[in-house]
Structure formats: C-alpha cells, structure tokens
C-alpha cells in the first residue's frame, strides 16, 4: 500500500496538537493587552505643566434674570420649601440672602442657593432696611460649641443651640423695615 505524501500539510484537528502560528505575532486582536507606545522627545525639551490643572478662581455668580433686591422668591428646597421669601442681597459666596419676614411667614434671615428658588414678579420696597453687616461669617456656627465629648452629644440634658440675642434683635430690626414695605395683600 503505497501512500502518497501530501502536497501541503493540513492542520490537525486533534486537541493536543499546537495551534497554527499567527502570521503577525504583535497583533493579538482584542484578546491581548493594548500595545503601549512610549514616545521619547529630544533631550532639550522639558515637561511643562498642563495649564488646565491650574484652577481659576471663579468670580461671583451671576444673578438669575429678574432677581433684584426686594424681589419675592419661592423657595424650592429645604425646611422652608414652598414658602415665599424676600430677596435682600447676594453674598460673597454667591448665595442669596433672604428673609420671610419671620414675623409674617416664619422664614428667618437665611442663605439660599439661587438654583433652589424661583423669582416672581412681585417686588417689595426695602427702604430703611439695613442688612449691610450680614455676610457669610454671620451664619458661621460656633466651633467651640461643636467641640465636645462624645458622651455630651447623646445626653438629653446637654446644651441646646439657640439663636443668640443679638441675632434675634437683628432679625427683628431688619424685618420691621421690610414689613412696612409689604402691601396688605402680601402679609396674609
């Protein structure tokens, strides 16, 4: 029985046989790790800082269209959501300083993000209201009151944080001037 030698070898389908060699050894398709290319530049060039990493200090936020001191806002989030408040001024942090007035609807002097409020077309006369001394530091909490032992935190008869007398007096004086500017229909 004379067997002829085959002209070309057919790959074996036996599981233990080695797979056929790839024509392009560097190209492994999607199964292999991505090939890394390292670029070298001339020795005279030095790595410079990327300009985008330097943070620019943004200026004060722009006010929403239609917001002027004395505008009535509707607060959308937080404890007083759904309440109307009078916009007094924009603070350095970009937040809005608003008040109810407290005597009318219970909204105290407060900072609000302008994304969390809707401006209305109603305006209130702010003549005589002096809120120039109110800034972001006015709202800072006492750091000494926060520092305490863990046991004091959970005790029932611990010191309660209440508004200081000067803040209450300041709220009252600012609100009095604003209440005078409110019409009779706004006080209800």
CA dihedral 98, 95, 82, 168 (to 10 degrees): -40
- Phi, psi of 17, rounded to the nearest 5 degrees: -75, 155
Q: Looking at residue 58, what is its pLDDT?
A: 66
Give the neighbor-by-neighbor strand order of the sheet with 110-112: 110-112, 96-99, 84-90, 71-75, 117-123
Which is it for the CA torsion 148, 112, 134, 177, positive or negative? Answer: negative
pLDDT along the chain (188 residues), means of 10: 62 63 58 68 61 64 88 93 93 91 90 93 86 85 59 61 79 84 70
Q: Looking at residue 130, what is its pLDDT?
A: 83
Q: Looking at residue 129, what is its pLDDT?
A: 82
- Residue recorded with tokens 């609000």: 112
CA distance 179 to 129: 10
CA distance 188 to 178: 15
> What is the β-pairing status of strands 110-112 and 96-99?
antiparallel
- Residue recorded with tokens 């001339």: 42
Query: What three-state secondary structure class fits 111?
Result: strand
Question: Using an 8 Å Cβ cutoff, are 116 and 76 in contact?
Answer: yes
Bridge partners, 110 (sequence order): 98
């Amino acid at each position: 029985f004379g067997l002829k030698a085959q002209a070309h070898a057919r790959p074996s389908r036996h599981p233990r046989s080695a797979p056929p060699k790839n024509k392009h050894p560097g190209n492994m398709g999607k199964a292999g790790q991505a090939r890394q290319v390292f670029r070298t530049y001339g020795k005279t060039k030095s790595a410079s800082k990327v300009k985008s990493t330097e943070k620019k200090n943004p200026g004060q936020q722009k006010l929403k269209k239609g917001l002027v001191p004395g505008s009535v806002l509707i607060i959308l989030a937080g404890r007083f959501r759904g309440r109307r408040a009078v916009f007094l001024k924009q603070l350095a942090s970009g937040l809005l300083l608003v008040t109810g007035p407290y005597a009318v609807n219970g909204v105290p002097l407060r900072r609000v993000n302008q994304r969390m409020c809707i401006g209305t077309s109603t305006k209130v006369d702010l003549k005589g209201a002096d809120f120039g001394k109110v800034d972001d530091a006015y709202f800072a909490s006492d750091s000494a009151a926060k520092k305490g032992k863990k046991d004091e935190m959970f005790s029932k008869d611990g010191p309660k944080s209440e508004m200081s007398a000067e803040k209450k007096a300041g709220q009252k004086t600012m609100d009095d001037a604003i209440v005078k500017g409110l019409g009779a229909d706004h006080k209800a």
